[in-house]
Amino acid sequence: MSRILLACGGTGGHIAPGIALAQRLNEEGHESLLVVSRKIVDTQMTAKYAGLNFIAGRGRGFGPGVINKLLFFPALLGSMFSAWLQVRKFRPQVLICFGGFMSLAPALVCALQGIPVLVHEANRRPGKAVRLIARFARSVHLPAGVRIDGLAAERQHDAGFPIRQEIFLSAREVARKAINFPLTGRLILITGGSQGAQVLTHWVEANLSQFASRDVHVLCLTGAGGRVGDVRTENSIVRFEAFCNQMGSAYSASDLAITRAGAGTIAELASCRTPSILIPYPLAADDHQTANAQSVAGLGAAELLSEGSIEQLSEKAFAILNDKARLAAMRDALAMLDANNRWDEMYVETLQLAATFAAKNK
């Protein structure tokens, strides 16, 4: 049995692949520990996984702003001490980092102790933490066609996005019942990712009469502290929820999703064959969400709309919703995207490195 440490906190896009990998490790008899942050999103996402082991680590992002950058370095020392205590107690044989500010301290501590470090980047523009960790990691797993300059080619590998076991395509009727929506009428899913997106919530609020007149239901996920409650008419339910712990059913029940363009969201849309309009978060680091969305839209699996053109969203959303041929074409493209979402190589390498480390340190 191998002991695998996973650093994956801070956002849903970092936590979700860590959970997916831990699920598979645990199924095959290995021991895993997931280091997450103390943010609300981490608490919400991890609450339903009683069979997995989580620990709240310490970490701080690098910026934006001069003050944040100055505070980063003393915070890093505290984070490294916290990570050292975790590593000393758990004694991992390999560390997998999924990017973000929670990855850096565990990566540095493990590297200093000779514990193999792997890093996974889901976005098409690698973030700061990934670019730094990649310099000393044993291997780096990236989206197909993405590479980090200055790294040896043999250390860089194509990898998909690990999908949690519960995120899969289910029958529309079953999914609608699971999230308590009528079987009749069309359903739009609105989600700004794990943090929510006020611009999307405001769009829903501004179009309540449109949904009612078109017999369209809406599930709008607003994020921590966001609006909750139902707006009901004779033929339409618009539901505002802060968080949904049945995302597989939410995707499968929906005729169209309007979402941000994080790599995890895109992979889950593909897994559940949910056509979408992707609205990248304009302040995302290195504008990586736009790069993600452009790649998927280029395959015909989604529509790309910038937040600056949000006034076009109503026309575009209802046009797609009424175009059965276009929706079918999107689903076909999503099926192809999902078929190419492979991450077995990363899993196999993880266990190989763990076995080698264990043999050397008997």
Half-sphere exposure of 197 (CA within 13 A, CB side): 24
297 and 184 in one domain?
yes
Closest by alpha carbon to 175, among 262, 274, 91, 88?
274
DSSP string, 40-61: HHHHHHHTT-TTS-EEE-----
The tokens for 176 are 């609608």
Contact (CB, 8 A) for 122 and 264: yes
Residue 30, number of CB atoms within 10 A of its CB: 17
Q: How far apart are CA 12 and CA 99, in angstroms?
A: 12
223 and 322 in one domain?
yes
Judge whether residue 10 has pLDDT over 90: no
Q: How far apart are CA 60 and CA 147, in angstroms?
A: 26
Strand bridging mode 237-241 / 229-232? antiparallel
151 and 205 in one domain?
no
116 and 184 in one domain?
no
Would you give the distance in Å from CA 250 to the centre of its chain?
Answer: 15
335 and 206 in one domain?
yes
pTM of the model: 0.93
Span 320-327, mean pLDDT?
Answer: 97
Q: How far apart are CA 34 and CA 7, in angstroms?
A: 6
Question: Into how many domains does the chain fold?
Answer: 2
Residue 362 lies in a domain: no
Span 260-283, mean pLDDT?
Answer: 95
| Residue 284 pLDDT level (bands cut at 50, 70, 90) | confident
Strand bridging mode 216-221 / 229-232? unpaired
State the residue range of the domain holding 347: 3-163+342-357
pLDDT for res 9: 85
177 and 97 in one domain?
no
Share of the chain above pLDDT 90, in %: 81
